[in-house]
Structure 1
Amino acid sequence: MRTWTPPELPELPGAGLTPKLYNTATGRFEYPAISEGRALLYVCGITPYDATHLGHAFTYLAFDIMQRAWRDAGIETVYAQNITDVDDPLLERAASTDVDWRSLADEQIGLFRSDMHRMGMIPPEHYVAVTEQIDEIAAAVRELVERGLAYSVPTVDSEGDDIYFDTDAAERESQWRLGDVAPYDHGTMLQLSAERGGDPQRAGKRNPLDPLLWRAVRAGEPSWESPVGEGRPGWHIECSVIATRALGGAFTVQGGGSDLVFPHHEFTAAHATAISGTPLAHAYCHAGLVAYQGHKMSKSRGNLVFVSKLLDGTHGACAGVPADPSAIRLGLLAHHYRSEWEWHDADLETANRRLEAWREGLERGGDDLASATAVLQQLRAALANDLDTPVMLATLDAALDRGVDDPALIAAAVDALLGVKL
């Protein structure tokens, strides 16, 4: 799958610091393992039926900033992202709107690419749709079945059987343990499984938490012939296969929104470890969820703020004035990437005022100008401290209120590290 044109990142003098990141799996701040000067990043992509809202943008911006930090530290990055272009929510939306599911997916993928390009996001080197790797995913499911790590469950609405991952067998036969990624109690796992695409009440399962690996063909649903029967993949095995084929095992960071910690990232790691014998990733980093109008942005509730509408000047109270992509970035970067927060329409105006103040600050002269070199050091220190963008913004507020002795250096630093054009 093609991506989008990457932004040009200015080169800065010296080198930044390798960032210390919060690892959800261990609950500690750590330096994820980087081998031979290359950081390998996998971030779970969209299900293309209602993209791209500010919740998406906040997540992908977090990992855009992470890559900028690594690159500033002289570390090469290799980035992979999937597209879940066949899944229940997509099929349900297509059916409800009487649109072919492939057409809906293609339309939304195109919109997402456009939004990411306009927002100045670094694109992945590996941008892979699930439908591009059906054979590879089916082969992985077959391997799990042959090794006794998966089993069949009869269906009432299909001639074939569904195939489930055997959580207990995987714990016995591999180094993965339930809770390695998501350190939750069993009751919480059951609740989250039911809320996030699992089926803990499904009759015939050996363990209520066992996730679906392969869904047997149902009437009216897309399906593919495979060694494990006609059907389509389950959610977690898709990312296991796409991630490891793109990056190998034990890559640097698995990323995504905090709602993916369980069950998605837990079982993505489980499948990959069971197949390869190698842990999926060294660190698991998660962005917080964004609310709007008092509730987490969600497609079911309909309280979404779309990036494209902000950029085109067609979003509600902000209608009539197309938003500067740098202002949207600043509105998001004002919040630490791990925080849970609420977007208000007035936030865009606040970001616009900050952007204008910074641009004016570059022109400010005087006898008490801040040292641009010292400001750059402060920005790099904050970036290395778990991507602390609010501190970076406060640092720039103070410096540009005074004016700086090398405006070109600050403009380049803000562009390279934050993706904000001054």
Structure 2
Amino acid sequence: MTLHIYNSMSRRKEKFEPLAAGKVAMYVCGPTVYGYIHIGNARPVIFFDTVRRYLTVLGYEVRYVMNYTDVDDKLIRKAEEMGKTVPEVAEQFIQAFNEDVRKLGVAPAIHPRVTETIPEIIDFIRRLEEEGYAYENGGDVFYRTSKFDEYGKLSHQKLEELQFGKRIEVDERKEHAQDFVLWKKAKPGEIYWESPWGQGRPGWHIECSAMAHKLLGDTIDIHGGGLDLQFPHHECEIAQSEAYTGKPLARYWMHNGYIQINNEKMSKSLHNGVLVHDILERIKPQAVRMFMLSTHYRSPLSFSDDALKQAEQSLNRIQNAADNLRHRMNAAVALSDEDSAAVLEKLEETLNRFHAKMQDDFNTPDAITAVFDLVSELNVYMERPQTNLAVLQRAEAILSEMDAVLGILREEEQTLLDEQVEALIQERVEARKAKNWARADEIRDELAAQGILLEDTPQGIRWRRK
């Protein structure tokens, strides 16, 4: 099997071949940290974390960068509202972002900040100015889009046909309406840095070009982000970076679809976002991942509480199978029989289907179907009075391999270790035999308070965590 990725640039699936054998350089546009992230912000965070996970499972060494935009018009306004400085606001919401994504099972990344990259940004702009791709007017520096012949190649529009979004300002100081800001002159009272063009701060697009180049070099293997960033942000990144290096900015461009609520795109600017930290107060974080990955990343995703609850129910089915598997392994024995060989063969088939779907442009919904196929096969097998330890061990390894990609099973943050739980259960059994009902009830309540549920099975008492 070979990994294929849908490339937004070519608009077709392409065989994945990184620039350096065995290594992947990956850049994903991160948050502008002026508020708590909503569920729409969480989609690229979770999906591209899954991409990184799968590449790692395939044996690649992944250098994964997701930036923080910690200076911006919105941050300046937020700081004024809160009576704080821009760095104070940025730090507050960076910490909030880190806490939210940690709960969502997102592994740490390299997180550059704009404010820590100012010298590189200034040097980048000076080089573009020297090469004729940038010009200064009134303390602002603009990118000369007419000089970059391939402007529009990602969005597949001709320069004269491009429709400019809300973040592209029409300014009479521009040579052409489509030119965009590289350096913004500071207004009175605003945060600023000294530069060859006076006091100011970077424009939005140049920040990612400079951070990506600083940390990943001239050409990135995978550049990702939400579909809303394809134009103008990524289009402008390409123009800047390729004018600067003379090389392609990225080999593969990936864009996830929107999340919709009430048939409308979810965004902070529309004030219809549902905050992640609010959701995590009532829904398991693994269920949020399950919800996100149950729809193909390039398709729109419709958000609702019912959809989240359905994802949580589906997740519980998988988690219960994993818990039961652990329980049955305690009593399994070594067997050598043809039936076990047939079960093992079916388990391997589900793993192969899982990888086949993941390698087809990260088709996570069909990969999750393969997980359910494994669970169904496993549940039937575990109903037997006697099970083969080799089968259960292989099933556990396969389930672990799948979850290393999806990250949907519970990561234990336990106050009671497994051995302690087993010891308390045994003590409760002995208390019941001795008709010490008070102690038995006390242990039951203690376990329940720790989120431990007890179930009677033909193989004895089974326990699982909520």
Structure 1 residues 4-403: aligned runs within 5 Å? 17-34=1-18, 35-124=20-109, 126-154=110-138, 161-171=139-149, 177-186=150-159, 189-190=162-163, 193-195=164-166, 197-199=167-169, 201-313=170-282, 323-362=283-322, 363=324, 371-403=346-378
- Counting aligned pairs with the same residue, the percent is 32
Structure number with larger C-alpha Rg: 2
* 1:5 match: none
> Aligned letter for 1:288?
G
RMSD of aligned C-alpha atoms?
2.0
Q: Secondary structure at the match of 1:108?
A: helix
Q: CA deviation at 1:151?
A: 1.0
Q: Which whole-Å CA distance do the structure 1 matches of 2:227 and 2:7 have between them? A: 12
Deviation of 1:18 (Å):
4.6
Residue 48 of structure 1 and its aligned partner are, at CA, apart by 0.3
Contact kept, 8 Å, 2:152 with 2:159, in 1: the verdict is no
Supply the distance in 2 between the matched residues of 1:347 and 1:243 (Cα, whole angstroms): 36
Q: Distance in 1 between matches of 2:309 and 2:174?
A: 52
Number of residue pairs aligned between Structure 1 and Structure 2: 381
Cα distance between partner residues in 2 of 1:64 and 1:337:
12
Which stretch has the larger CA shift, 360-369 or 78-87? 360-369
Stretch of structure 1 that moved more, 209-218 or 64-73: 64-73
Q: CA deviation at 1:77?
A: 0.6
Tell which deviates more after alignment, 93-102 or 233-242.
Answer: 93-102
**Partner Cα distance (1:203, 1:303) in 2:** 34
Q: Which is further off, 396-405 or 32-41? A: 396-405
8 Å contact from structure 2 (residues 289, 408) kept in 1: yes
Structure with greater contact order relative to length (CA < 8 Å, sep ≥ 6): 1
Alignment partner, residue 418 of structure 1: 406
Q: 1:129, CA displacement in angstroms? A: 0.3
Partner Cα distance (1:187, 1:151) in 2: 20
Q: Any conservation in 2 of the 1:69–1:384 contact (CA below 8 Å)?
A: no
Q: Do the aligned residues in 2 keep the contact of 1:32 with 1:252 (CA within 8 Å)?
A: no
1:385 CA drift (Å): 0.5
Q: Which structure 2 segments of 5+ residues have no match?
A: 329-338, 382-390, 411-466
The Cα offsets for residues 280-326 of structure 1, whole Å up to 9 and x where unpaired, read as 1111100111112332111122221222122223xxxxxxxxx2221
TM-score normalised per structure 1? 0.85
**8 Å CA contact 1:257, 1:287 repeated in 2:** yes
| Deviation digits for residues 43-65 of structure 1 (CA, Å, limit 9, x no counterpart) | 01100012321111111111111
Q: CA deviation at 1:334?
A: 0.7
Q: CA deviation at 1:339?
A: 0.9
Structure 1 residues not aligned, in runs of 5+: 1-16, 155-160, 172-176, 314-322
SS at match of 2:41: helix
Equivalent residues of 2:260, 2:266 under 8 A apart: yes
Amino acid at match of 1:380: H
- Secondary structure of 2:211's counterpart equals helix
SS in 1 for 2:165: helix
Contact 2:351 2:370 in 1 (8 A): no
TM-score when normalising by structure 2: 0.78
